[in-house]
Amino acid sequence: MRIIKPFLLLSLLSVFGQTTTAQEKMITGNASYYADKFHGRRTASGEIYHKDSMTCAHLKYPFGTVLKVRNPLNDKTVIVRVTDRGPYSKRFVLDLSRAAARELDIIRAGFSMVEITPIHTFQVPYRVEDDGIEEIPQLEMQFTPAATFPEPVWQRDTVCVAKELKKQTSRWKLPKL
């Protein structure tokens, strides 16, 4: 009997541990949507925002992360991609594009409680590994030795600038105090 109790305790802990990790992935909070004045502007990721695209802004998810956003009031769901940072208000968790907000029916209210679940975290690679991409040709550089110049160019420039400055400032008449 004593052997069964620790086994039962361990199995219950593992079940509860799995449910808490699943719940940690889902975030709930208020979501708003972009104003029309942001249409055509650059986002933090460098992309141009388009109000008819299925994109969003989040403070912490990496760019390119695909999120499933669900409106629990009407049970509508939309899939969006993170392309921007924000919202910078503690009241909101997510900023949706206008098209995504229209799909979730939050245009009239302006904001709504949503449930956010990350579907796929996309890491941008340093270099695309594709055999179809051509190699970048090597550049050939030729250097001219500095000994061929009679005097350094920077010295000649500063001397000329100093002489011109002296000519200009010598004509100035300062007011007498």
Peptide bond into 6 cis (omega under 30): no
Phi-psi region of 103 (alpha: psi -120 to 50; beta: other; left: phi over 0): alpha
pLDDT band of 21, cuts 50, 70, 90: very low
Neighbours of 5 (CB within 10 A): 9
User: Taking 60 as the threshold, does the pLDDT of residue 119 lie above it?
Assistant: yes
Residue 130 is predicted with a pLDDT of: 54
Give the DSSP H/E element, type plus range, for residue 25.
Answer: helix 4-25
Q: How confident is the prediction for the chain on average, in pLDDT?
A: 76
**Residue corresponding to tokens 């992360």:** 65
How many angstroms separate the CA atoms of 158 and 61, rounded? 51
Decide: pTM greater than 0.75: no
Q: Which residues pair with 99 in a beta bridge?
A: none
- The single-letter DSSP state of residue 118 is E
Residue 176 is predicted with a pLDDT of: 72
User: Taking 70 as the threshold, does the pLDDT of residue 125 lie above it?
Assistant: no
User: Percent of the chain scored above 70 by pLDDT?
Assistant: 56
Q: Catalogue all structural domains in the chain, each as residue range(s) with its CATH number.
A: 25-120 (2.40.40.10)
Residue 95, both tokens: 């900023």
- Predicted confidence (pLDDT) per residue in 139-171, tens digit: 666 666 655 656 655 555 555 566 666 676 677
